Amino acid sequence: MGTERAHEAAAPLAAKRRQLEAQLAEMSAPEELGNISFGKRIGEGTSQAVDRLSAVPAHAKLQVMLAEVRRAEAKIAAETYGQCDACGADIGTARLEARPWATRCIRHA
């Protein structure tokens, strides 16, 4: 992959990294619970607890994507952007256009 393609990907990757970091920070921020009861009946406290539990998989997915974006940025710096981490083959223009943070070819994705 040419350095021109890597330079084209640098700005979108940086923007995606900032977006993911902001989303993760927002999800990790503590909530003010105030005067909430966790009794036998479903109430506001129970609903908030369920909401927080259901956010855990989304948080994990965002962390994985952030790691992929950071890896792609590191590959730009190392001048290996566009090469598969597993086999070294070209990842392919279409895949990188669809997912600029891809670090593996389709075969090893």
Q: Return the CATH number at 104.
A: 1.20.120.910
Q: How far apart are CA 97 and CA 69, in angstroms?
A: 14
Residue 23, pLDDT above cutoff 90: yes
What per-residue confidence (pLDDT) applies to 32?
Answer: 63
What pLDDT score was predicted for residue 15? 96
Q: 46 is written with which tokens?
A: 């129970």
In-domain check, residue 67: yes
Q: pLDDT tens digits, residue range 38-52?
A: 555 555 555 655 666
Q: Does residue 64 form part of some domain?
A: yes
Q: Is residue 35 domain-resident?
A: no
Instruction: Please report how many Cα atoms fall inside a 13 Å half-sphere around the Cα of residue 102, on the Cβ side.
Output: 23
**pLDDT higher than 70, residue 34:** no
Residue 7 lies in a domain: yes
Asked if the structure places residue 34 within a domain, the reply is no
Tokens 């619970």 belong to 33
Cα–Cα dist 83/65, whole Å: 18
Q: In this structure, is residue 36 part of a structural domain?
A: no
Residue span of the structural domain in which 71 resides: 3-28+41-108
Q: Provide the number of structural domains found in the chain.
A: 1
For 74-94, the pLDDT digits (tens) are 999 999 999 999 999 999 999
- The pTM assigned to this predicted structure is 0.76
The pLDDT assigned to 47 comes to 63
Q: Which residue has the higher pLDDT, 53 or 68?
A: 68
